[in-house]
Amino acid sequence: IVTVGLLEIQGAFLEHRVALQKAARLLSKPIDLHLVEVRTAEQLRPEMDALIIPGGESTTISIYLKRNSMEEPLRHWVQNPDHVTWGTCAGMILLSKLTENQKQGGQSSLAVMDIDVSRNYFGRQVQSFEADVRMSDSSLNKAFKKDTFQDTFPGVFIRAPAILELLSDDVKVLATVSDPNTGAEVIVAAQQDNMISTAFHPELSEDCAWHVYFLEQIVNKKAT
């Protein structure tokens, strides 16, 4: 049994449920996937294998976490090496160590992943867009392999953040996208040990390769 919690405070968590069920059927070895909602500190059970922090609005989610004394328990849960955590969009912002707000002494995040994130990186000119995300790591090949090898993924970006800088060598880049405003290649997915961050919303694409990749991380961790 693989138990995945979804932080169901605000944002796109229902779509993640659908994508995870679909991805579970695509794994080479079928798993018994158990999805649970997480809205309280008590629901952050230690025996849960993984957690998704969905996209939405990072300030709203962060205020909820503070009001419900969930910030510290969540940080503690994520830092447990037995757990896998995936933050999408607002979830990426919440996992990041540095955001422009924090540099100005503002809103905090869980500060567990060594990445410097710009909260609304694409926001000024382009609110939302779809673009092919380029996978940069060969370990992703398996999850993204269909009939033929694919090295791009249709990314849905909604007021999306981007990673400005990796703050330690432990972080590896998983994917980049060409910034529609400038044409520059920017980092939009990264992994540090048991934490994955994506700036786009993979749960809104038909292709559930990222969910397959996420489930594979959990299965591999449980096997070791």
Q: How far is the CB of 94 from ligand GLN (least distance, A)?
A: 8
Q: Could you give the residue numbers annotated as active site? A: 89, 201, 203
Cβ–Cβ < 8 Å for 174, 217: no
CA 66, 70, 76, 77 dihedral sign is negative
Instruction: Please report how close the Cβ of residue 198 comes to ligand GLN at its closest, in angstroms.
Output: 10
Please check if 124 is assigned to a binding site.
no
159 is in an annotated binding site: yes
Helix spans in 104-199 (H): 141-144
Closer CB to ligand GLN, residue 55 or residue 155? Answer: 55
The response to whether 183 counts as a known ligand-binding position is no
Min dist CB 129 to ligand GLN, Å, is 12
Q: Would you say 44 or 92 has its CB closer to ligand GLN?
A: 92
Q: CA-to-CA distance for 175 and 154, rounded, in angstroms?
A: 12
Query: Please, what is the minimum distance in Å from the beta carbon of residue 107 to ligand GLN?
Result: 9
Quick one: 122 or 213, whose CB is closer to ligand GLN? 122
Residues that bind ligand GLN (CB under 6 A): 55-58, 89-90, 93, 119-120, 158-159, 161
63, exposed or middle or buried, with CB in 10 Å at 0-12, 13-18, 19+?
Answer: middle
105 annotated binding-site participant: no
Is 119 labeled as ligand-binding?
yes
Output the 3-class SS for 4-52.
EEEECCCCCCHHHHHHHHHHHCCCCCCCCEEEEEECCCCCCCCCCCEEE
Report the residue number, 197 or 217, with the smaller CB distance to ligand GLN.
Answer: 197
Backbone angles phi, psi at 25, to 5 degrees: -75, -15
Q: Residues within the annotated binding site for L-glutamine?
A: 56-58, 119, 158-159
Q: Residues within the annotated binding site?
A: 56-58, 119, 158-159
